[in-house]
Structure 1
């Protein structure tokens, strides 16, 4: 039974523009919402209690930075804000604009202001402007010549000047979830006047292929309609027809650090399945497996340590295997290492001990070792007491003398506190035994 498409009034709050019914405009443009309430997936901003809704109700639209992944409505929201606030909408892209373009836009906004018109300047990819160009916005934002709405896919904390950020409110747009993508498909069907010729599984696959990008799913839906299939397409036929959207991953930007953090914390949390997923996400995104191998080796000594001393050996072996095999064969060595590390007993005792020892070293200056553990290769050094009283541990009971090896003037400190997991259980037993002997022989 064919799907019943919702009415365009239900979907858009107004009549669908003619381009949506077969005009020349791409479907993603033709179906662009004409009311903030029709923007999908961003209810925290444009819903009844959303930040932007309340801002418009107060009549106090601030300069904004819209931060979110591609295809979630940043440009649409900027256009609709200008319309609702009665501002002249001007759009530029930081990719194609320079200082001369900014100067011209600011001059035009100044002229409009003299005649009573105000300007909303939408800057797409605002993070592409350099620091000096970003500073150019400060005076015109400060004096109200423009209301700035910048769009960025990158973390504003890293990419935008602090001075500019202090004059703008940062709003985060969410990746479109499955329900939002399904609503966009329903809108596409309402605009086309027919249902998408897809099996239920293929329809779900289409949503997955969009990867949270509304523009991408509408572009793919347009290709499906253009194919004029007479029978519903299955998943294989859909994959042959449209290209899967590449997963978001920038090797030198925030997504890079987010995914390596997710991998690290999944292994620390002893979840091998989640760890494999994040590893796969990084490799599919084009990450250098050598970088991952280096981070995994760090994990072996930071989060496992002596709870499983073989973790470091396994890390170096997997790294070496990758160097010999390369991708894709060597990827399996990295995956095997991830499984080993995620399922190994965990201890950060060594990591914490070294940190504590460094802090102690920084705070105690250049104190010399105690004289009894110094070598005395010359007569003068022997006369000065070097080596006097040193107990050779192998000649003592239990091969343990219990002597002090800290500098004079420093109390003995226990930096390393094994946590009793994995191999550290045996280490803790030994240290406790030696501590008891030390007390007896003090």
Structure 2
């Protein structure tokens, strides 16, 4: 029997307005309609939840499923991927999620992450060596972009000669060009082929890297299937690149916008861990958590969200909620309430969080140490953001030093 959905309720702020003023739009929604069903950029509706307490509670609510099979037709459902790329942690509920995460955790160990510290530092220094003689650079294209690609390839054991233009692939998937719909399909096909060949090579020639460790991971005879391996490799590359490149760019801009905080961080490198947390809260690269689908009608505040309709939890809004944070729109590297939701909460907390923190800290420290005269090379109001409500990042960040 077909399900008839009601028309989307009028929005105080719609998706188009959020693209123009993300945090201003979130503030308006928190104040007037903290749970709102709006129409997204693709014309499909979703429920947007914007207050900190609601977002935090729903991140751990077992009534909200990540499995697309629990969605009703006519709502936003996220990226459409082939099964070989879709069997990852972002699309699973327990017990499947529990099983996969347990196996991945055997390979994604603190020791393996710590082993990457020296290569990460070397990558940062090499990239800065290239741009230093120029006196100016686009920090997105020349530093924040290639930096996480090199790190993820080192983590997965991708040889230098086998590295592809992952940035073009991820850009085509996250912000597809409506005029060229085949680009996204070609990107998905290219990534699928690449990872299938890479896994086959790792089986034949195992090494001391994360992908080889995932291939050999066992739990009482259980192991990852071929689709699970391919999907997890895709997720690690996709999320590891996408979020880190944007976080580095967003963080540098935030520090340039707050010169007193930048000067203090330069004078006291011990502030770096706290700075990374505050910068991640202040301008998160992932404003929305992965879409969820209620298994039953769920009441949030005064609004009841019907079963199966798409729910998006606004992490970026929660991180700026004055009901939880003191002066949340202010960057404060000494903030005592800097705990944020940018990396999730509960069983779906980002498994790569320690690596993301390490990468961001090393990238920022190397940049600030090398270029004490770092400054914007264009007017501040000329900077442009990616046209996506799911990914918060600059298209370019021209600087001089």
- TM-score, normalised by the number of residues in structure 2: 0.22
- Greater radius of gyration (CA): 1
Higher relative contact order (CA 8 A, sep 6+): 2
